[in-house]
Structure 1
């Protein structure tokens, strides 16, 4: 028996689920595929991900993927200054994607669409009169640019402030034209409501991330690391500006204090595509930069503590959820823990470098089991529970 057709647009291929946005988009795709015939259109910005393209066929009726050259997209982004649009919009603009969307909607008689990341809504803008559209903003992207602007000076400050204004206007238009707008948490949804008129508020809601608790299980079957001393670990995509900034802050303000007390301590930075600045840290002062790894779990499992020292953030940090699910102590800034209601003796929250150091040193000196962290994840953030309401936002699901 055929299922209703659903257009699913994602700014990044939703497989493999190895970084924050792809973890969420993949799990949403998996849930929606149980109720709809999925027509997926997505960009591939990392050549590594092409090998997994056929994995999507299990969940989709049709898959359309476009290679995204980052340098070309940055050049396209510059045209935003001439067109009065946000850089983000122009970065993702694609004639090929637009033609595929137009053709697919017409040929398949599609009347419903799921948009993952607000920028992808540009491709359905000419079809809104016949589309029931649900958009997952995930977090308030425009607010990140406001935060960036606060930490810059001169031209960079002006550019980031402009992007905040332009992208906010675009986000508001998308939400006003959509049946439902989702955000990764209730606080994130509340923040968005502050920038848009009250007539739209009833169509805005939070929908939490989950965790694959069977995968991120300290007792699951994964290959342990050999001859590696992982005292402190940070995990995340290391070409993402907020992660780079977090590691840089930790290395500058916290780690030297830790090493004064524990000269042999090791800090592992685990994540793909590290920038040149992050690569340069490798081998210095007990810092190990791994680059992309086959499995992040051994690094979390063998660490004494996971750190999340984010200085700029929106939404929920999957790196924190995964560490909690692995029963690890977590030390996080207030930014990194936002939207996560878990509290225990082994979740420390501080923005002060000296206090951050003190907490790290306590775990180095007296390692702690944090199984209560995993129990909280099991009780509150399994994907089957957090996404159970997603199909109900559509017709005939």
Structure 2
């Protein structure tokens, strides 16, 4: 029987942030096709606590607690001429696990989740390699470089240049490379170094519409009383999220509170940076930190906002809010890859003035806002289920017609 090796830069459990949501659903889908062996990293002890979840789906696994500091990874990168993104995820234990697995198991395909993990695919491997870049990391670092001050800007520029070269080399080694949207796939093709054309495909993100269902989901108690409530959800140490909430709290909320003096801006998500925590109380901003369940915060929102100016791929936060039948106000960057209709299933606005104007329009017209929210849920139920989104994986991995089962490794 064919078996699959799944490499991921972060343990897919719990599926509570963008990359983990995608990797978790992909891993479970592949496990339904064939036995799957997993090598991945844990960021912290909280991640390590989810080892039983990994054991439940994997035929065998190697879970490594990542302890290399960014400073050490940076020094290794400078000495080796590699991107920091690679040296930060280099580990002999995973290399040994991969070598042993390929020597002892009938591995016919390797699924690589995120570019950092491509370094573990041996050049001698003769099976299929499916490279899930998700989005174009090198382009992301270029965007960071444009906004960062010296000397950080130089480091980001170096990372973008080296990653771009690595992405081209990796794509040409892979049987096929996946990007999360057609737009991201096009961008990836445009940035390839000269050479043979690799297979580049778009494989989108889905949404669990049974879990993200507004039916019977009461609002968070903190949302009782004054309002209206505008909500942002996300990992709050992720630079694009940080920049988005800073802009919205300081530049858009004053315009909204000029009309709705009790309006609240709820920033919901784990690991808020000092810059995010400093927004507490600024123009009605509440910073929650980590919450047990994001759904009550979405359920009680009058408007969910996604004002990102740097965004790669599909924003899960937007799909989650749409599934919860909430009206969503997004920038063009945050709406990329979601083929919903502006003004019908979500609202798109660009710039602080336009965002404030659109938000006020939706807050004034509750009937229109509710209609957009209901249309949003209908859209994701019809178009964005994970089973349909991931259906092409069987053919891409050469597993069509096989039915997986978990076996001891």
Structure 1 length as normaliser, TM-score? 0.94
The counterpart of 2:75, out of the listed 50, 73, 78, is 78
Mapped to 1, the partners of 2:374 and 2:342 lie a distance apart of: 10
Q: Which residue of 2 aligns with 1:225?
A: 220
The counterpart of 1:374, out of the listed 372, 377, 387, is 377
Q: Which residue of 2 aligns with 1:180?
A: 176
- Which deviations, in whole Å up to 9, do the C-alpha atoms of 1:148-185 show, x marking residues without a partner? 11223432222111111100101111100010100101
- Which deviations, in whole Å up to 9, do the C-alpha atoms of 1:68-121 show, x marking residues without a partner? 13x624421332122111111111111121111111211224232110001101
Deviation of 1:362 after TM superposition, in Å, equals 2.3
The answer (yes or no) to whether the contact 2:349–2:358 under 8 Å persists in 1 is no
Matched, 1:192 2:188: yes
Mapped to 2, the partners of 1:302 and 1:49 lie a distance apart of: 29
Mapped to 1, the partners of 2:255 and 2:33 lie a distance apart of: 53
Matched, 1:98 2:101: no
RMSD after superposition: 1.7
The answer (yes or no) to whether the contact 2:256–2:359 under 8 Å persists in 1 is yes
Q: Which residue of 2 aligns with 1:8?
A: 6
Q: Which residue of 2 aligns with 1:339?
A: 337
The answer (yes or no) to whether the contact 2:172–2:197 under 8 Å persists in 1 is no
Deviation of 1:388 after TM superposition, in Å, equals 0.5
1:48-127 alignment, distance < 5 Å:
48-69=46-67, 72-127=69-124
Q: Which residue of 2 aligns with 1:36?
A: 34
Structure 2 length as normaliser, TM-score? 0.91
Mapped to 2, the partners of 1:228 and 1:240 lie a distance apart of: 25
Matched, 1:134 2:163: no
Q: Which residue of 2 aligns with 1:256?
A: 254
| Distance verdict in 2 for CA 1:227–1:149, change over 3 Å | closer
The answer (yes or no) to whether the contact 2:42–2:64 under 8 Å persists in 1 is yes
- Segments of 5+ residues of structure 1 without an aligned counterpart are none
Deviation of 1:212 after TM superposition, in Å, equals 0.3
Q: Which residue of 2 aligns with 1:390?
A: 393
Matched, 1:168 2:164: yes
The answer (yes or no) to whether the contact 1:137–1:183 under 8 Å persists in 2 is yes
Count of residue correspondences: 392
SS at match of 1:244: helix
The counterpart of 1:235, out of the listed 230, 233, 236, is 233
Mapped to 1, the partners of 2:20 and 2:263 lie a distance apart of: 32
SS at match of 2:350: coil
Q: Which residue of 1 aligns with 2:208?
A: 212
Larger RCO, structure (CA 8 Å, separation 6 or more) = 2
> Runs ≥4 in structure 1, deviation > 6 angstroms?
none
Mapped to 1, the partners of 2:387 and 2:10 lie a distance apart of: 23
The answer (yes or no) to whether the contact 1:10–1:25 under 8 Å persists in 2 is yes
Q: Which residue of 1 aligns with 2:349?
A: 350
The answer (yes or no) to whether the contact 1:77–1:89 under 8 Å persists in 2 is no
SS at match of 2:283: coil
The answer (yes or no) to whether the contact 1:235–1:271 under 8 Å persists in 2 is yes
- Segments of 5+ residues of structure 2 without an aligned counterpart are 401-409
